């Protein structure tokens, strides 16, 4: 019976995940980015691309991170070539982001965000919320408990009130979770 449960869990994959904290990404710097490390704090996950018309949002994603990092926000950049607008290697992406935007955000390897090859996190988001990135610079806000609480399309700017109000709400929740938990 235990073997059947294990096989069943492997087959259904992301659907067995109960929250975002259970996902791990390959880091652009080597190693891994484990979302468990951010439990108790909000995380904004953004699929990025270096050759997109929205690439200028990297500057405001960095500003968003700089504004709220000390309060607990993590902005995670997930470079993706699903829309054929990313550079060929993660080294080129890192250099582009550093030179042009002084980006210091945690960044994953180039990662698929939609379709059958999507990273399990993005499959889980689609299965649990119906949301799948329709273009680059879609944003997924994860609350301190690891639940997807809001998604934003490419047109929603990182420092917009729609995003900052939600982040501020969850920063306050995260602080109370850390103090009481």
The catalytic residue positions are: 52
Nearest to 165 by CA among 179, 147, 150, 144: 150
Cα 98 to chain centroid distance, Å, stands at 19
CB 91 within 8 A of CB 50: no
In angstroms, rounded to a whole number, what is the distance separating the alpha carbons of residues 52 and 138? 12
The rounded distance, in Å, linking the Cα atoms of 125 and 102 is: 29
- Strand 32-34 vs strand 43-48: parallel, antiparallel, or unpaired? unpaired
Q: 44 and 174 in contact (C-beta within 8 Å)?
A: no
């Amino acid at each position: 019976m235990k073997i059947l449960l294990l096989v069943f869990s492997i087959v259904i994959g992301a659907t067995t995940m109960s929250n975002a904290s259970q996902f791990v990404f390959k880091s652009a710097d080597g190693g891994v980015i484990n979302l468990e490390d951010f439990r108790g704090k909000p995380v904004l996950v953004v699929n990025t691309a270096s050759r997109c018309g929205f690439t200028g949002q990297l500057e405001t994603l960095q500003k968003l991170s700089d504004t709220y990092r000390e309060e607990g926000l993590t902005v995670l950049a997930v470079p993706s070539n699903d829309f054929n607008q990313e550079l060929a290697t993660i080294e080129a992406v890192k250099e582009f982001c550093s030179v042009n935007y002084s980006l210091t955000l945690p960044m994953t390897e180039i990662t698929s965000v939609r379709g059958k090859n999507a990273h399990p996190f993005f499959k889980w988001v689609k299965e649990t919320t119906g949301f799948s990135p329709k273009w680059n610079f879609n944003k997924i806000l994860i609350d301190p408990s690891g639940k997807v609480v809001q998604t934003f399309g490419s047109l929603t700017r990182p420092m917009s009130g729609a995003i900052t109000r939600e982040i501020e709400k969850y920063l306050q929740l995260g602080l109370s979770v850390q103090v009481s938990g």
